Each structure stands twice: as C-alpha cells, then as structure tokens.
C-alpha cells in the first residue's frame, strides 16, 4: 500500500499532462481540418511515437537490474501514455473505426492491444490480493519442484499406510484418484475464476475414502490429504502466475504486430500520399 500511495501523485501529474497534451493536439487537428489543411501527418507521427514508447516498456522490464528508476513509475508512465495513445488514435483517424481494409486491420490490432492492456492493468491490480488469499508463497520457477516433492510425500504416505494395514484400499485410492491429481497442476480455470471446484474435488474424494479406511491407515490418509491441500495452494499460484505471464506474451505480440503495421502504414502514406 505504501508504494501505491507514493506513486499516486506522480501518476496524477502524468495524467493531467497527458490530458492537456491530448486536448492541445486535438484542438490543433480540428483547427487544421476547419482550415482545409491536413493534420494527419503530424498526428500520425505523434501517435507512432506514443506507440513506440509503449513498446519500450517491455525492454525496460528486461533491464530491471539497471538503475533506470522504480518500476512503479515506469508502469504509471506506461498506463498514461497508453490512454494518451488511445485518444491520439481517435484524433488521428477522426473516429473510433476508420474506413479502408488495411486501416481497419490496423485499427483492429490497435484496439485489441489497447483492450488487452487495460485488462492486464486491472488484472495486475487484483493479483496481489488473490495471491495473498492463497495463504502460501511459492516462486513460479519452483512450482515443478514443489509438486514433485508433494507427489513424493503422498506416495511415501500411501506406501506406509498399505504396509501398516496390509489392505489395498489406500493404494487403490492413490492409483485411481490421487495420482492423477499429483502428476501436474490441475483445475487451472477453477483457480483463475475462483469457482472453488478444485477444493470441492479434494473434499469429496477424501471424504469418500475416509469412510473406507481403518484406523491403521488414517495417519497415512491424513498425510496424503495434507499434501493435497498444500498442492491446491501451489496449483493456485501456478494458474494465477501463468495467466499473468500468458497475458504479457499476448500483449507483447499484439504490440509488435501493431507497431509493424503502423510503420508500414507510415511508409505507404509518405510514399503515395505526398
């Protein structure tokens, strides 16, 4: 919360500057149109400059080790320039959706990039709260090792339970039900959407098998269930962190495609329109 408060004045100041700049450019473009002059070259270059600066934000994230300022300030700048680019697009095209096949493809990519950016910004703001509610912390790159450790613990507990009782009930439960769960992250959409389906699945499976095992197998079943509960937390981290990484990948691809078409559009305009 402290970081959010400290960057808020910076963000508000940037937002005010962006709004003033957009209003000034919009007034200039309208004045030029009323004077039957073409302002699209100027607004097009400004829009392209804003789009290039947005693309540079991804490079800044890859250079996090360099002393280039706090990431929170860069994010605030990225968000404000993003909204400025949306306004500049409307000023440049004279509307939300242009005419012409090529321009419409470019507009479609631009709006897809903008919407993905807004979605990601909102999603990133909710992510810390959702991860804190999991009640367990794990680094994304450590998740495969965490799952392997939990799987090994569950398998060892199963062997101990079968050895203690001499009954195949616990072994059958693990091979037919729990083994599938411990193989890899499961119930990704349930964790992302927060439906609780993963927790219900674990509750029902262990509630059913608990009625079938004896007192000698109960401690082993408790150990398997504890591993399963912990894996629910690991799976939640995997689903949420992976969804964020996938969003970044999609947003970067859309940004690259939009920039490529925008540069080509600029070349065509300067070659054929003048």
- pLDDT tens, 1-28? 344 456 778 778 888 998 999 999 999 9
In the chain, the number of structural domains is: 2
Query: Do 50 and 126 reside in the same domain of the chain?
Result: yes
Query: What is the pLDDT, as a whole number, of residue 2?
Result: 43
Same domain, 144 and 67: no
Tokens for 58?
A: 């991804």
Per-residue pLDDT, averaged over 148-164, amounts to 95
Same domain as 34, residue 11: yes
What is the arithmetic mean of pLDDT over 196-210?
95
Most confident range (mean pLDDT) of 67-71, 96-100, 235-239 is 235-239
Query: Do 261 and 158 sit in the same domain of this protein?
Result: no
Q: Are 237 and 250 part of one and the same domain?
A: no
> Does residue 150 sit in the same domain as residue 202?
yes
State mean pLDDT over 152-178. Answer: 94
Residues with Cβ within 8 Å of residue 157, at least 6 apart in sequence: 220, 221, 223, 224, 227
pTM of the model: 0.80
CB 220 within 8 A of CB 157: yes
Same domain, 82 and 180: no
Q: Domain check: are 102 and 191 in the same one?
A: no
75 with 108, same domain: the answer is yes
Q: Tell me: do 207 and 78 sit in the same domain.
A: no
Pairwise CA distance, residues 144 & 146, whole Å: 5
What pLDDT, on a 0 to 100 scale, did the predictor assign at position 60? 67
pLDDT band at 65 (very low <50, low <70, confident <90, very high): low
Among 1-5, 23-27, 75-79, 81-85, the least confident range: 1-5
- Residues 130 and 183 reside in one and the same domain: no
**Domain region containing 42:** 2-135+244-272
Q: Scanning the structure block, which residue is given the tokens 């950016």?
A: 117
Let me know whether 125 and 146 are in one domain. no
């Amino acid at each position: 919360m402290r970081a959010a408060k400290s960057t808020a004045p910076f963000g508000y100041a940037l937002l005010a500057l962006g709004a003033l700049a957009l209003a000034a450019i919009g007034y200039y473009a309208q004045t030029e149109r009323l004077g039957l002059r073409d302002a699209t070259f100027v607004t097009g270059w400004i829009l392209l400059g804003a789009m290039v600066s947005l693309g540079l934000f991804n490079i800044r994230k890859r250079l996090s080790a360099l002393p280039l300022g706090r990431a929170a300030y860069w994010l605030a700048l990225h968000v404000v320039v993003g909204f400025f680019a949306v306004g500049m697009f409307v000023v440049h095209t004279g509307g939300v959706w242009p005419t012409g096949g090529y321009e419409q493809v470019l507009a479609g990519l631009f709006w897809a990039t903008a919407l993905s950016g807004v979605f990601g910004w909102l999603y990133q703001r909710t992510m810390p709260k959702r991860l804190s509610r999991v009640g367990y912390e794990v680094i994304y790159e450590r998740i495969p090792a965490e799952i392997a450790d939990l799987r090994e613990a569950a398998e060892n507990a199963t062997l101990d339970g079968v050895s203690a009782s001499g009954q195949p009930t616990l072994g059958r439960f693990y091979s037919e039900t729990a083994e599938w769960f411990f193989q890899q992250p499961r119930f990704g959409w349930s964790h992302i959407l927060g439906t609780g389906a993963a927790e219900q699945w674990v509750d029902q499976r262990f509630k059913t098998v608990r009625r079938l095992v004896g007192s000698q197998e109960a401690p082993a079943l408790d150990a398997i269930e504890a591993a399963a509960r912990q894996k629910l937390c690991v799976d939640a981290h995997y689903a949420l962190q992976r969804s964020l990484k996938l969003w970044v990948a999609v947003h970067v691809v859309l940004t690259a495609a939009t920039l490529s078409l925008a540069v080509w559009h600029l070349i065509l305009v300067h070659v054929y329109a003048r």
